Chain A
C-alpha cells in the first residue's frame, strides 16, 4: 500500500498533539485529518474512509474508549491506536480488550511511533488481504449452480439453507442422477466449515478392504503393498465435511467402524495404535431404501439414525418437469463455452422432445444428452436429429391408449423428426398434406 492510499485520523482534544501528529504523518505522505472530539471524529468517519485512527483516551464528552466502541460498530476492521497521557494500564487494557491494536503513552518516542504505524499498516493490509482472499475462496467454492425454479427444487434449497447453518448430519436421498453430490456441496459451501475441504468418498466404488484403508489411512507395512504411511479421507476431512456417497453399499463391518468414528470423532490408522481426533460433519447420500435394508437386516439401524438426523429427499426430474428447459439450456451454455461452439438454443421441436421425455437418468442424463447433442450439432440450434436418448421413449405412446391419442402422438413424433416439414411428414405417414394440416389443427400440435 502506498502511503497516500492510507488514511490516518487523529482524535485528540489537545491542539498541539493534533498538529504535531498531523505534520509527522503528512511528512510520511499519508492522507491525514484531525478531530478535536468524538462527535467531529464520527462525522469525519462518515465523510471519508479511514484505515488507522489514533485516539486520545481522555477527552471531554465521549472518551476514547467509548468512541472506539462506536468506531468498531461502524467498521470493525479499522485499526485503532490509543494515545494516553498516563501510563494507565487498566484503561489501556480495556481499550485492547475492546479491539484496539495497541496503545502509546505521551510523549511518544519517534521510533516507537514509526514502528507502531508500520505494524498497524501491515495489520490493516493483512486484514484487507484476508477479506479479499476469503471472497475469492467464496467465489471458487460456489459449486455448480443448483438449477431450477420449480416448487420441489425450491423446497429442497430452503432445506439446504436451513441445515447448512447447523452441524447436523444430513442424509440426501434420491434417484441416481438427481444431483445428490451437488446438494452436499451446496450445504458445505453455505456452512461455517466452507474454508475447509469437503472430502467425497464413493462407498460403492471400493471393495471392503480398500474402503477401510481409503477412509482410515494406514501405517507403513499395515498390509502387503502399504509401503508408506498414508492419510485417510477421515483425516483429510478434518474441520471440513465428509461426504459419503452410496452409503447403502457398505459392508456390516464398515458400518460398525463408521458408527464408532462418528460417535467418538476419533480413529486409528490401519496398522497403527495412535488415536487420531478429527472434527468433521457427515453428509451421506443413497438411492437405496435404507429403511427396507434395516428391516432386511443389511443396514444397521443405529448408524441409520446417526446419519439421518436431517434428510433431504431430491425429487426425480419427471416430478419437476418445469425445470427441464432451464436445465437443458444451462448445460447447453456450459458446453457451448467449453466446446467453443456458437450453439445458442434448442429448436422448438428439440425442446419439445426434451420436455416430453421421462429422463429416467435424471439431471445426469440431461447433461449427457445435451453434451452429445452439442458434439454433433452443426447450426446455431440443436435440432431433433442431434438428440439421442440412452433410454429411448417406449414405443407405446405415453399420452394414452385411445386411437386419437395414438394418432396425435405419432403425428407429433414424425413432425419432430422432420423438423416440422409437412411434406416429409405426409410422405412418412402416407397421408396427404391437407390431412396433416387438419390433424395439426385438430390436435393443436406445434409444427
Chain B
C-alpha cells in the first residue's frame, strides 16, 4: 500500500494538518501518513531576500523517500521563493513525487488584514491539492473554478474551488497508486465550499 506523506517542516501550528490529510486523501483516493523528515531549512535560506528557496527544500524532501510513499507533501509556514520569482505559494515536481506548500502568504495577516482562520485553511487545502495535482501530472487548467487553475495572488486562490474539474480528474496519472476506495467517485466538483 502506498501513501501520500504529509511532512510538517518547522511548522508552528499543526492544527490544519488533520483537515488537510482528510481532504487530500479524499481527493486523490490515497491514504495519508504524517511524518517529520530531517530537513535543514537554513540551507534553503537566502539572507539577501529573507526568503527560503523552495527548490532546495524540495530537493531535501525527496532525497530519501520512504518505500511506501506515493507522494510527499511538505507543509511549511516560511516565505518561499524560486530564483526568478519574487515568491511562490508552493512548488511541485511535475509528474514527480514531491511537493511543498507554505501557509506564509495564505494568512490574511500577511496582507495587513484581520486573521481569518477559515480562509487560511481553505487556501491551504486548495494549494496543497494544486501542488499535489502537479505531481500527478496535471498542468494548469483554464477552468477558472478548477483547483488546478493558476493562482498568482491570494484572491486568485479564493476565487477557485478546491475541486478538480472533470477533465483534470480524468487526466490524473496514478502509476503505482493503491486507492483507498476505488469505487469512490470524484464527485465534489461543482460543490461550493
Contacts and interface: CB of A to CB of B under 8 A. Distances in A.
22 contacts: A14-B83, A16-B83, A16-B84, A17-B84, A20-B55, A20-B82, A20-B84, A20-B85, A21-B84, A23-B82, A23-B91, A23-B94, A24-B84, A26-B94, A28-B140, A28-B150, A83-B84, A106-B84, A108-B84, A110-B153, A111-B153, A113-B85
B55 A19 contact: yes
A83 B82 CA distance: 15
Contacts of B150: 27-28, 114
Contacts of A27: 92, 94, 134, 139-140, 150
Given A24-B85, A111-B152, A29 B140 contact: yes
Interface string A10-46: 0000101101110110111100000000000000000
Contacts of A29: 139-140
Interface in B59-101: 81-88, 91-92, 94
A9 B92 CA distance: 21
A393 B92 CA distance: 88
Given A26-B139, A27-B140, A107 B152 contact: no
Interface string A102-130: 00001111110110000000000000000
A408 B49 CA distance: 104
B110 to A, nearest CB: 15
Contacts of B153: 110-111
Contacts of B152: 109-111, 113-114
Interface in B90-128: 91-92, 94
B187 to A, nearest CB: 26
Closest 10 CB pairs of A and B: A29-B139, A111-B152, A20-B82, A16-B83, A110-B152, A20-B84, A28-B140, A17-B84, A107-B86, A109-B86
Contact of B86 (A14, A16, A110): A110
A27 B148 CA distance: 10
B29 to A, nearest CB: 23
Nearest to A109: B86
Contact of A107 (B85, B91, B134): B85
A3 interface: yes
Give chain A's interface secondary structure class.
Answer: helix
B139 A17 contact: no
Interface size class of A (residues with CB under 8 A): 20 to 34
Nearest to B134: A27
Interface string B24-56: 000000000000000000000000010000010
B83 A110 contact: no
A107 B92 CA distance: 19
Given A20-B82, A110-B86, 11 more contacts: A14-B83, A20-B55, A23-B91, A27-B94, A27-B140, A27-B150, A29-B140, A106-B83, A109-B86, A109-B152, A110-B153
Most buried by B among A17, A20, A83: A20
A315 B84 CA distance: 70
The CB with the most chain B CB atoms within 10 A, among A16, A106, A110, A114, is that of A110
Given A20-B55, A110-B152, A114-B150, A28 B139 contact: yes
B81 A107 contact: yes
A28 B86 CA distance: 18
A17 B83 CA distance: 6
Contacts of B82: 16, 20, 23-24
Contacts of A14: 83
A413 to B, nearest CB: 76
Nearest to B139: A29
Nearest to B89: A110
A14 B55 CA distance: 15
B139 A3 contact: yes
A424 B140 CA distance: 84
Contacts of A28: 139-140, 150
Nearest to A28: B140
Nearest to A104: B84
Contacts of A107: 49, 81, 83-86
Contacts of A106: 83-84
B32 to A, nearest CB: 23
> Quick one: which of B55, B83, B86, B94 has the most chain A CB within 10 A?
B83
Interface in A266-318: none
